[in-house]
Every structure is written in structure tokens, then in C-alpha cells.
Homo-oligomer: A and B are copies of this chain.
Amino acid sequence: MSHSESFLAPSAVKHRPVEGEHLLNNLRWRYAVKKFDPARQIESATWSALEHASIHSPSSFGLQPWKFVVIEDRALREKLRGASWNQSQITDASKLVVFARKTRLTQSDVDQYIARIAHVRGVSRESLADFHKMITGFASKPGFDTGLWAAKQVYIALGVFLTSAAMLGIDACPMEGFDPGQYYEILGLSSSGLAATVVATAGYRAADDPFAHLKKVRFSEAEVIVRR
């Protein structure tokens, strides 16, 4: 089966759990790679799985206010590196993904989503009228900050991407250190209604990345978890 379009109901999917220690070891293995091996590329089926894992990210009302810009073009990546404090991951990683948020949530966006639900589920748009009305009300509420709301959703997708990469054995580095204005220009986003929100690079760590050999630092369970 192709990754691309499965359209199953969750109840129709065969789930295979992993053990807790398996999950945790893969999360302990991951870290923010500072130096990628520029010679190692991610094999296409594995990359496709990671793209589709990201497409499956949950979002508020399922609205998916995002696009994921996957950049292969070397010249473009050189330019983006210049807009990213010259960080080497931008050019040396196998893949570069710009997680872009929608800056507006228009009636057309809402209508497109409702049409998509009708298509996937094989139901009429009329049967979705109540949900359509509810989403329209949500999106047009006075004071609703679309950009902030969409940015938060994009960060869910980033969390899904990074966890999924760790499960697949793909190294990654999330990056906020870039100039969104320059990205806007370089990627030609002006008429797109999109804004670069956060970046992830993905590939394989260089054997001599010193950061792979430093112990991961997290606050203790007692410091992070509050029990009530």
C-alpha cells in the first residue's frame, strides 16, 4: 500500500504497540544534531513515511493550518543558510523542512476543509452543516489571533515529526534560529498566505559531532511532573 492515501477509520487499523523501553530508548538516542554527515541521504521510502507521519499530525478541529516546505535545491539552501546564522545543518542535512503556518484562516480555507471531509468520508456537505457553522464561527470570532493559533498547531506537527524521526532512526535538528522575514523573501511566500514558523533539518549525524557524546539534560521527574 502506498503511504499516500489510506482513508481508513482508526477502528479499522491494526495497531502494534511498542514497549515503553523501546520508545524511550529511541527518544534517548535522538538529540539536536549540530553536525550532519553530508554524504548520507535519507532513503526515499523512509523519508516518505516521515512526511506522511507529519501529514497525520493532529490539529485544532483538524484544520491543519500549515504547509511543509521540503527543500532540496542546493542554491536555495545556501541562501537560507545565510538567513539562519550560517548554521551548517541547513546545507549539510539530507533534508530541510520549513514548517509554515497559514497567517489567515479564511472562509475559503474553512470551506476547503469541509469539502475535504465530505470527499474522504463520502458524505454530503449538507450533512456537515453544523460543524461547518461551528468552524466558521471559531475562525471569525473577534480577537481570534490566527497567526498565534496556527503557530501553536505547527509546533504540534514539529513534535510529531521529531518523535517519528526518532522512531524511524532519522536524525534531526529543530531550529528557531533563522530570520522569518528573509525566509519569506527567499522562498517567495508573499502571495501564499504562509509564514515560516520553525525549521527542521533531517539526515544522519556525523561520527564526529561532539554533541552526540554529551549526556542528554532534562529536569528530573520530580521537577517536571506535578501530581494532584
Q: Is A129 an interface residue (CB 8 A)?
A: no
Q: Which of A11-30 contact B (CB under 8 A)?
A: 11-18, 20-30
Q: How far is the CB of A206 from chain B (nearest CB, A)?
A: 11
Q: Is A105 an interface residue (CB 8 A)?
A: no
Contact A25 B20 (CB under 8 A): no
Q: What are 30 sample pairs from A and B whose C-beta atoms fall under 8 A apart? A: A1-B21, A3-B20, A4-B221, A5-B220, A8-B216, A10-B213, A11-B213, A13-B28, A14-B25, A16-B22, A16-B25, A20-B45, A21-B49, A23-B49, A23-B167, A24-B52, A27-B56, A28-B56, A32-B58, A55-B224, A58-B162, A60-B176, A67-B224, A70-B227, A116-B217, A155-B156, A156-B162, A159-B162, A160-B163, A167-B167
Given contacts A220-B4, A220-B5, contact A164 B23 (CB under 8 A): yes
Q: Which residue of B lies closest to A25 (CB)?
A: B13
Distance A15 CA – B212 CA, assembled complex (angstroms): 13
Given contacts A18-B168, A57-B159, A121-B215, contact A67 B26 (CB under 8 A): no
**What number of A residues sit within 8 Å (CB to CB) of B?**
95
Distance A69 CA – B226 CA, assembled complex (angstroms): 5
Contacts of A174 in B (CB 8 A): 58, 156
